[in-house]
Amino acid sequence: MRLPPHASRAQRVGYALYLLFCGLVLLFLVAPLIAIVPLAFNEGSFLTYPLSGVSTRWFEAFFASATWQLSIRNTFVVGVCAAALATVLGTMAALGLARAPFPGSRLLMALILSPMVVPLVITALGMFFLFSRLGLTNSLLGLILAHTALGVPFVVITVSATLQGFDTNLPRAAASLGAGPILAFRRVTLPVIAPGVTVGALFAFATSFDEVVVAIFLVGPAQRTLPRQMFSGIRENLDPTIAAAASFMMLISVLLLLAVELLRRRSARMRGLG
């Protein structure tokens, strides 16, 4: 929202109040997150203000601990694998629903998006009963499959939004020139929908990265992810290492948001050039 070049004084005052209100709302939302970061640099052994000193000892303890290293590794293994599977499945689902509408397609779309609507604890409980029968509890494979199901809706939404402006004549033109379905998808369709696919993959990774409820139900001590380990640490041994882990997760989240914003601007630039 921008003011016109010749805005009146009342409009300028209203705009300033609008920016002030937005700033206060933003501060209200991020203040609890910002308050955690200084505690990670506290020299003392308690999560309290004022700080007794400044030190990086808790970050050193976080990255040197075998338990935390295992949880970081599990988090990235599960996140990358779940995001890759969710991207493939979500892209295929979005293409199928967009290209060939059929009776019941809206119901199918609702079922695909249901993990975003159903309370997560209910989803986790259902997955626990199913995976326990299949022998997939206490395993990274089970957690990867569970996080894949949670990430697919985000890929479907972003790819479907990209397909709204997609010219279906392009694959037909490629087919008329002798390209097979796979070649036409790889050389024609995929480059056009790539921003939506990439953003969906990032959202799927972010969903897996900070998910804790399903992890509580499905994994054991050897498969703990970073959020699961933080949850256990809060109950068992509360110290500023938790704040260091939270700061690390916030850094990764900020990097993901920056990547999404860069992709959004690149996509907008490409549409402008087109």
**Angle, CA 209 vertex, CA 69 and CA 131 arms, to 5°:** 95
Q: Residue 47: left if φ>0, alpha if ψ -120 to 50, beta else—which one?
A: beta
Task: Look at residue 4 in the predicted model and tell me its pLDDT.
Answer: 64
pLDDT digits (tens, 9 = 90+) for 128-137: 998 888 888 8
pLDDT at residue 55, rounded to an integer: 81
For the chain, which domains are there?
A: 65-273 (1.10.3720.10)
Q: Which pTM does this prediction carry?
A: 0.82
More confident residue, 240 or 77: 77
* SS (HEC) of the chain: CCCCCCCCHHHHHHHHHHHHHHHHHHHHHHHHHHHHHHHHCECCCCCCCCCCCECCHHHHHHHHCHHHHHHHHHHHHHHHHHHHHHHHHHHHHHHHHHHCCCCCHHHHHHHHHHHHHCCHHHHHHHHHHHHHHHCCCCCHHHHHHHHHHHHHHHHHHHHHHHHCCCCCHHHHHHHHCCCCHHHHHHHHHHHHHHHHHHHHHHHHHHHHHCCCHHHHHHCCHHHCCHHHHHHHHHHHCCCCHHHHHHHHHHHHHHHHHHHHHHHHHHHHHHHHHC
Mean pLDDT of 96-118: 81
Q: What is the pLDDT of residue 245?
A: 86
pLDDT score for 179: 73
The overall average pLDDT reported for the chain is 83
User: pLDDT (tens digit, 9 = 90+) per residue, 196-217?
Assistant: 888 889 899 989 988 888 988 8
pLDDT at 272 over 60: no
**268 confidence band (pLDDT: 50, 70, 90):** low
Q: pLDDT at position 83, please?
A: 93
100 Cβ contact partners less than 8 Å away, ≥ 6 residues apart: none
Say what the pLDDT of residue 5 is: 66
If one compares 179 and 150, the residue with the highest pLDDT of the two is 150
pLDDT band for position 269 (cuts 50, 70, 90): low
How confident is the model over 14-46, as pLDDT tens digits? 778 888 999 899 888 888 888 888 888 888 777
| β-sheet bridge partners, residue 221 | none
**What confidence score (pLDDT) does residue 146 get?**
92
